[in-house]
Amino acid sequence: MAGRGGSGSGMVEGALWKKWLYFYIPLFVFMVGTLFPFYWMLVTAFRPDGELYRPWRAVNNTPFWTTHPTYEHFVYLFQQTMFGTWLYNTMFIAVISTVISIFCGLLAGYALARLRFPLAGSIGTSIFVTYLVPPTLLFIPLANIVRDFRLGDTPWALILTYPTFLIPFCTWLLMGYFKTIPKELEECARIDGASRIRAMVQIVFPIATPGILSAGIFAFTLSWNEFLYALVFLSSPQQKTVPVGVLSELIRGDVFFWGPLMAGALLGSVPVALIYSFFVEHYVAGLTGAVKG
């Protein structure tokens, strides 16, 4: 039974070595390849400096492990850098820009999925096209605009620009979701005297909760991951986000503080990884929904 049901599984029946060769070994290699960098991040973060900076051919009895785990890199991170502030900044920016994007995406997605009005088609297409515009195309003029609006070096520079790549995604995901909700539900409510807005907010939006969750989690991880705008629009250390802070404050010239760097990378990944692990299914739905959109 175990070998059947999937594509290309018929040949595995009978010969166990074939199942190992075509399935377990490749899957194991994929697992190791995918996860090793994270494992190495973890080991490095807890390794004392003496073990980290050892010539590459030196005798090494515990190459992939450490017998002297230390917290010194984490202590350094919180005492010598503003890592706590960066974490807070990243969280604040990611949460607010996600909320803004969900709000805009809900309204726009509903309008495009349900209402008929002139230009609906072309507005929908333009929103889809902005989804495909990479931030690297616009960062130089945007830096000017952010400065003109006096938003430079404030979290609002990012909170207002992140929605440019989050809203299109949220809109398309939620629009697809709204289309699956039967119109009759709203029409019943409207016959009972509810206004269109009321039917939208009280009937349609609650049913779309899984879609909202998917879009929200996806948007949150995207904003947590964003780097270029944060690098260009922010300059003072106390305003930075985790990726920018770690990269710019823990690498000085050619000197890499690998212990604190990996400790920072680890801690900076934990919030997204946690949220992701709680909502894996929603995340996957968002990912595949975005592709279908």
Report 174-193 residues binding another protein (CB under 8 A). none
At closest approach, how far in Å is the CB of 254 from another protein?
A: 11
Q: Tell me, what amino acid is at 257?
A: F
DSSP string, 46-111: HS-HHHHS--TTS--S-TT--SS---HHHHHHHHHS-HHHHHHHHHHHHHHHHHHHHHHHHHHHHH
| Residue closer to another protein (CB basis): 75 or 270 | 270
At closest approach, how far in Å is the CB of 50 from another protein?
A: 12
Taken as a whole, the chain contains a residue count of: 293
Residues 207-226 that bind another protein (CB under 8 A): 221, 224-225
- Distance (Å, whole) CA 109 – CA 289: 14
Residues 234-273 that bind another protein (CB under 8 A): 242-244, 246-247, 256, 258, 261-262, 264-265, 268-269, 272-273
Interior/surface letters 107-144, b for 16+ CB within 10 angstroms, e for the rest: ebbbbbbbeeeeeeeeebeebbeebeeebeeebeebee
Using CB under 8 A, pick the residue from 95, 99, 123, 213 that binds another protein.
123
| Residue closer to another protein (CB basis): 96 or 244 | 244
| Residue closer to another protein (CB basis): 75 or 129 | 129
Residue 111 interacting with another protein (CB under 8 A): yes
By CB under 8 A, which span of 66-74, 81-89, 208-216, 227-235 interacts with another protein? 227-235
At closest approach, how far in Å is the CB of 54 from another protein?
A: 7
Residue 62 interacting with another protein (CB under 8 A): no
Residue 98 interacting with another protein (CB under 8 A): no
Residue 132 interacting with another protein (CB under 8 A): yes
- Distance (Å, whole) CA 173 – CA 181: 13
